[in-house]
Amino acid sequence: MRIVVSNKAGIPIYQQIEDQIKTAILAGDLMEGTLLPSIRQLAKDLQISVITTTRAYHDLEEQGFVNNVQGKGSYVLGQDSALVQEHALREIEAHLSDALAAAQLAKIPVHDLHTMLDTLIAAESGDDGDR
């Protein structure tokens, strides 16, 4: 498993680590029972603080992606597809809520938000907008 972090990404390093590990788990690149690098080894490899890697692993455990076993390491947990989907829905809902709050502050009409979302969906799916 290769993790790449950037100080210039605008995203906290612990979050970058979490996101990359979650992506690998959900994509099936990290299978159930896989031992992750130790907190200290990952910190050394990435040249970051042990506190940062500890935070990432702790958050992953709270979210049900890994099991941290004292003295043995962190292991990937099996993912129930319903739980994975529920987690994704909660994350999407939080992002949409943030977007709605920003739009309300900027006094952007709801119709424009719908148009923006439809445009983003069309761009991601390669749809040219003809429905």
Angle CA(42)–CA(45)–CA(49) in degrees, nearest 5? 65
Q: Can you give the pLDDT at residue 27?
A: 81
pTM of the full structure: 0.66
pLDDT tens for the chain, residues 1 to 131: 799 999 998 999 999 999 999 989 888 889 999 999 999 999 999 999 999 999 999 999 998 899 999 999 999 998 766 676 777 788 889 999 999 999 999 999 999 999 999 999 999 887 655 54
Dihedral Cα 105, 110, 113, 114, nearest 10 deg: 170
CA distance 113 to 103: 8
Q: Can you give the pLDDT at residue 131?
A: 46
